[in-house]
Amino acid sequence: MLAPISSIKLEFQKVLQFLNAKSVNLAHASIDTFDSSNFYMRVMKNASSVVSHAACNLMGNTNLLLETVSNFIPLSPYKPFGTYVFCTGNGKLVILRNPDAILQLLFYSSQLCREEECTDIAHRSLQQHFGYENDLQESFQMLNEVYLEPLEQLPLSSDSTISDIATINSALNDLGLSTKARLCLCAAGELEKRKTRNKESIDLKKPDIEKAMKYLEEGYRSNCENRGLGCYDAFKLQETHNDFNANVKRLELAGIWDEIIEMLKRYELPDAFEGLRDWVLLGTRYRRLVEPLDIANYYKHLKNEDTGAYMIRGRPKRYRFTQRWREHVEKMPVESSGESCFWAKVEELRIKISSQGFDPIKEEILQLEAQVQNWINYEELDRDVLLEKSTFKKWWEGLPREHKLTSHIKDLMVS
């Protein structure tokens, strides 16, 4: 999987033929040594480029030469996942879970000692493809497994004699790992450690997020209710000091979440982060609570004139990401969890109607109404959008009479 099909096509076909033939008829299959060693060389060469590129990133290389050269070579996007068990020749089982380390090990465990070995090794590896059953039977009998953890404390030289890592060291020696290989594995371990530490530092920010959100959920919302306005409209009008405070909280939260998203984009958080239940829930709560305020700010300052509609160019990444988290965890279709963008849709419909009239927009309005029905029923959208003074209510009242009479949400609007 690490080599592009174009470079190995010819040889691969022959190898597949060989493997096919062999599985059917063990004795009579043979393959030209030239082909097999060529195949091996090509695959290893491509694997080498994938693995060294990955290793550069693991080691924190910031030289942009990496990018410049990447323009000339297509890199395989495939990565391993899950737990890998590497069988050494003598019955030991080496177990590894870190995907970056597995990638490196896939390459380094197949390295040749000398160039001349190539034909020999190539031939042997193809044969080994059929040897799993036997090897595993043996290994299960011996039960000699070694966990390569913690990776960042891997012994770097093969003759290290410190006792507690002796087992690990001998496993590494059995796999035939050079110093360079060990350094790459060590780097993979360091990266994992760094990611875990980053997550811990983010977890420390949870109380701040909770505090700010609590202010908005309870204090601000009840204050708006007292004024008979929904949060969206109150915020957009910015009349009282409460609205100002809400704005400050909005910016605070934006700062914290933007930092988290930046870390994610740079792959500085553990892979599992985006699926963690508590963060997904927190993200969804945040999105539903604060995105309407961001939308209010956007349209109040007419940013749509400079930048375009909120949904198209203006939507901050922190909302896109948290929405994707929820959709992924709850296995919803992509883009279906758009309840927090309700107000953006309303604003855009208002603008479109004033320039194009009702009929061309009718379809979109019907769609929105259906969604509103759904969201209110599932309590994903706050009922304050239906308040008398809300922009939505006022706008909806302004629609043509025939539409209102037949609309799905006319019952909601009357309450």
Partner 1 sequence: MTQTQLFSSGLELANFVVSPDILQQAWTAISELYKETSQKEEPSSSVKFKIYEPLNCTIIAFFTWPANSKDYAQGNGGGDFVSSSTHTFFKFLCTKDNPEFSINKPALELFTSIFYELPKSVMANSKPLIITGNSLGGSVASLFTLSLLENFNFLTAKRPLCITFGSPLIGDEGLQEAISKYAAWSSCFLHVVSDQDPVPRVLISQSGVYKPFGTFLLCSKLGCSCFEDPQTILELLKATYSGSPGNQDPNPVFDVYGTFVKDINRKVICKDTTMLPERTTQPLRACIITQLAAIGLVPQQQPHNIDINIITKTEKQEKKLALSKKQVFDPSTKLNQVKVHMANLEWYKKVAKDKKIGYYDSYKNVSHTSDLDVIKDMKTLTCYWEELVNEAEKRPQTVGASLRTRWLFGGTNYRRMIEPLDIADYYNKGKKDYINQGRPKHYIKLEQWLNETPKPAGVPNDSMKQNVASILTEDSCFWAHVEEALISCKMLTGTGSSEMEKQSSRDSLFKFENYAYGLMKNYAVSPEIFLQGSSFMQWWREYEKIMGTSYSSELSKLMKDFRNYDKYATGSL
| Structure-block tokens of residue 157 | 């030289």
Q: How far is CA 357 from the centre of its chain?
A: 42
Beta-bridge partners for 94: 86, 146
**Sequence letter at residue 372:** V
Segment near partner 1 (CB under 8 A), from 132-140, 182-190, 273-281, 360-368?
Answer: 182-190
x/- mask, partner 1, residues 216-255, rule CB under 8 A, reads ----------------------x--x--x--xx--xx-xx
User: Are 292 and 232 within 8 A, CB to CB?
Assistant: yes
CB 207 within 8 A of CB 190: no
The CA distances from residue 346 to 99, 221, 370, 381, in Å, are 45, 21, 13, 14
Query: What is the nearest approach in angstroms of partner 1 to the Cβ of residue 415?
Result: 30
Query: Among residues 3, 15, 31, 44, which is the contact residue for partner 1, using CB under 8 A?
Result: 44
Is beta strand 92-96 parallel, antiparallel or unpaired with respect to 84-87?
Answer: antiparallel
Residue 3's identity, in one-letter code, is: A
Find tokens 């093969």 and name the residue. 158
Applying CB under 8 A, among 38, 49, 323, 371 the residue interacting with partner 1 is 49
CA 21 to chain centre: 41
| Total interface residues for partner 1 by CB under 8 A | 69
Smallest Cα–Cα separation from 285: which of 248, 330, 343, 339?
339
- The reply on whether position 204 binds partner 1 by CB under 8 A is no
Binding mask 56-95 for partner 1 (x = CB under 8 A): x-xxxxxxxxxxxx-xxx----------------------
Q: Using CB under 8 A, which of the segments 10-18, 47-55, 95-103, 383-391 binds partner 1?
A: 47-55
Residue from 133, 164, 278, 305 binding partner 1 (CB under 8 A): 305
Amino acid at 237: L
User: Can you tell me which of 14, 79, 97, 194 binds partner 1, judged by CB under 8 A?
Assistant: 194
Structural contact between residues 376 and 342, judged by C-beta atoms closer than 8 angstroms: no
53 near partner 1, rule: CB under 8 A: yes
Binding site for partner 1 (CB under 8 A): 41, 44-46, 48-49, 52-53, 55-56, 58-69, 71-73, 108, 111-115, 118, 152, 156-158, 176, 178-181, 183-184, 186-187, 190, 194, 197, 238, 241, 244, 247-248, 251-252, 254-255, 258, 300-303, 305-308, 351, 354-355
